[in-house]
A and B are shown apart, each in its own frame.
Chain A
Amino acid sequence: MSAAAGGALGSARRAARPFIGLVLVLILGVISSPRGAGGSIVFLSAGNLTDILLQQGEIGIIALAMTLVVIAGGIDLSVGSVLAFSASLAGLLLVRWAPHIPAGAQIAATVAAVLALGAAIGAVNGAIITRLRLQPFVMTLAAMIGVRGLTKWMTGNTNIDFGFDAAASARFSDIFSHKPLILSAWAVLAVAAHLVLARTTYGRYLRAIGENEKAAFFTGLPIRMARTATYVACGAAAALAGLIHAARSHQGNPNDGVAYELDVIAAVVIGGTALSGGQGSILGTVTGTLVLGVLTNVLRLRMVDSNVELMAKALIIIVAVWLQRRDRNAPSA
């Protein structure tokens, strides 16, 4: 005797749901798109589609790591602040620091330092959450506030503009705002995250820990290390997104990245990962990220007020979570 509602069929249906959502928004985009010269569909133009991917690139990259954090039963609210911190640090190192080394070396040192510090912030989050047993929401909220303060302090609360000439900062901007680079970075990280989650022991442990922490303890799983690693990944992802953000806006701005964590979490949730942990998929997260990007684009092409965009986003989140809940309440034997 078995309950098919909880069986393999049910999980396939659950996995398909964000995909259906994406298809629906795409169809909506095509239907509502303005027409260009010669009747072409503006929405489907290569330029527009690339725009969508690029505009979601930062959120998308962070969302990959956030998926791991959430699956293991945690949450990270500090990613927006870490993004601002990373962008500002890049500004400081590329513009205010004047070492006598070639621009390429300066850029490499900057990237290394920024990624390392982002990961370090994640490590602090993870250590305090797992050892002092602070709730992830509380700890990363504190980190969100603290890192933001640190960022404003270290820049004197001003932006650091990058140059447009041959200086290191200008070269950095060119490299890291290079569209194919951003998109391939996102794609490579997505594939890597998927493989880790689906095919490695580490990924299996994450799911088990998020599903039932007590049972994971009784199975001797390395709970602390696994959880901390997810926060380190999140910090590093936010740092990478910060580098891309700095390059695209040509400045390090300590006031950027506000509320990015909400967009990231929204993407993860719409993609079918439950905030309670234990299940989720990278494919779902990528789909969720794209749903948000396509939706924003569809509304903008129709010249809808940008405040309405926020309300539409809220609607999608509610619907996505509501559909998840119906799934979870299916009876089991």
Chain B
Amino acid sequence: MIALSSPDILGSPPALACTQLAKHYGGVRALAGVDWELQPGEVHALCGENGAGKSTLARICAGITRPDSGEIRVDGIPASWSGSDEARRQGIGIILQELDLFAHLTVAENIALGNPALEESRWVSFEKLADAVAPHLRDAGIPVDPGTLLGELSISQWQLVAIAKVLSLDARVIFMDEPTSALTEDAVERLFTVIASLKARGVAIAYVSHKMSEIFRICDRISVMRDGEMVSTMRRQDTSIAEVIQQMVGRPVGAREATPPEDPKISVLGVWKLSTRKLRGVSFDLADGEILGVAGLVGSGRTELARALFGMTRVTSGRVTLADGDYRPRSVSDAMRRRLVLVPEDRRRDGLFMRMSVRENTSLAALRRYARMGWIDGAREAEEAREQLDETHTTYGDAGQPVDALSGGNQQKVLLSKWLLTRPKVCFLDDPTRGIDVGAKEDIYRLIAALAEEGVGIVWVSSELPELLANSHRIMVLHEGALRGILDSADATQEEVMRLATGGKGDGP
């Protein structure tokens, strides 16, 4: 455990101070006269619901977006910059929720992009660049070869590379937008070590997150925003999780517990000794209306399981059966035909079509239902899409606008709506609540529970153990491609799951 102490606040100008910042997007008020400051050497949380304005505030301070009005001061000196490059040069860095990394470049090149100090090394020789970059990779806790192509790494590794990138900037102020959303437990610990060392160096860190447990562990102060306004700024020791949540949301929010299915009759998904290049004889059973969580560390084979079930990787041995018979995984469309659907992990890259409209994204998987001989019945499509979006409590302005314009949480709801419209029998969810706020998460938990009540079988992969424990009936734990155990969620504890996930033996199949 790492203890973090408060900095000495008196006597020096704030590292960053905002006065009356305001920003409108069209008719929507994203920020309304926000005053806020960040002290050197403190870790300061920014909390708020979907649309509260915390991401907007972070982006403005990092130079990505320009405010409509208001002032920013860095170390007491007024600053204005025309782009994130300039902001970076003044020592303000940001790790975005949607990582601005490029799959077709190497790790080293990604880190060097936009970093004036490293750009020169980049042109001299790759070895020089790799050397310059290696220490940052080590600090971030991702000891990969800098020459690896980014596309070959997993999502959680991408996030660590993004952290390394910010470390390389030698920034004085760092904004982190949902930095642990794709990280596993041990990676989170490494991040906290990094933050502690940055803090010791006097770097100010703004930590935008929804994860209360983390915030209350490492942050010195907590600022809560709601509807574009700064509601309060408190010291951590003066407040509690419940109070913060209450301020964020305006109402108290409780934890959920999953109710087990009534009388599970049939197995909607049976996997028997499934092996691929990375999976070793995984077997499990899923009943109708059951929620089966899948836990494990990075590289444990959770994504590989999805790939195997949907025909994206070759199955070397084993058998899969669905409710209506044997199933040989061949392709995603084949799986869809058997009413087995996959909601992929990275919604921007693999799930949504950013420039297409909300309606089009929602209806795409089930489009054939609204078409006769290929001709789309626009009215029916619009109506059913709207109904589905309402059921998932998706907030959107106009169904014709690009899905790009929605917040992360609503985008995820659109993605779920798309698959729900196909009326699946088995749903494989890969990290469905990654990078979305408390309010939206609650909606999604409720949704998944409702789905299960209708008899849909759900396999739920997640890196957030508490969420799995609270919302699933059973949890399956993988370690290095093998099944370590299947536990009843009601009785299991985090420690036990972690033990299995790190290779301890359990008493499962």
Contacts and interface: CB of A to CB of B under 8 A. Distances in A.
Judge A-B direct contact (beta carbons within 8 Å). yes
Contact of B405 (A6, A202, A208, A220): A6
Nearest to B26: A4
A3 B25 contact: yes
Contacts of A11: 402
Interface residues of B, number: 46
B353 A6 contact: no
Contacts of B404: 3, 6, 332-333
B402 A7 contact: yes
Contact of A200 (B349, B360, B374, B402): B374
Nearest to B374: A200
Contacts of B396: 2
Interface stretch (A125-133, A153-161, A209-217, A231-239): A209-217
Interface in B392-443: 396-398, 400-402, 404-407, 418
Contacts of A46: none
A328 to B, nearest CB: 9
A331 B51 CA distance: 17
Contacts of B8: none
Given A201-B374, A218-B342, A1 B401 contact: no
A207 B356 contact: yes
A324 B353 CA distance: 19
B26 A7 contact: yes
Nearest to A278: B355
Interface in B363-385: 364-365, 367-368, 371, 374-376, 378
B356 A8 contact: no
B354 interface: yes
Interface centre among B335, B374, B378 (most CB of A within 10 A): B374
Interface string B18-56: 000000011110100000000000000000000101001
A2 B364 contact: no
B333 interface: yes
A222 interface: yes
B361 to A, nearest CB: 9
A1 B332 contact: no
Interface residues of A, number: 33
A215 B353 contact: yes
Contacts of B407: 1, 333
Contacts, number: 114
Contacts of A208: 353, 356, 360, 364
A212 B353 contact: yes
A279 interface: yes
B367 A201 contact: yes
A11 B404 CA distance: 13
Contacts of B364: 204, 208, 219, 221
B406 A204 contact: no
B398 A204 contact: no
Given A279-B355, A333-B406, A218 B350 contact: yes
Interface in A1-50: 1-8, 11
A214 B350 CA distance: 5
B374 A215 contact: no
A267 B375 CA distance: 28
B352 interface: yes
Contacts of B503: none
Contacts of A333: 25, 404-407
Interface of B: 25-28, 30, 51, 53, 56, 65, 331-336, 342, 344, 349-356, 360, 364-365, 367-368, 371, 374-376, 378, 396-398, 400-402, 404-407, 418
3 interchain residue pairs of minimum CB distance: A4-B26, A220-B333, A220-B332
17 contacts: A1-B51, A2-B28, A2-B401, A4-B26, A4-B27, A8-B398, A200-B371, A200-B376, A214-B349, A215-B351, A218-B344, A220-B334, A221-B364, A331-B65, A332-B354, A333-B25, A333-B406
Interface of A: 1-8, 11, 199-202, 204-205, 207-208, 211-212, 214-222, 278-279, 331-333
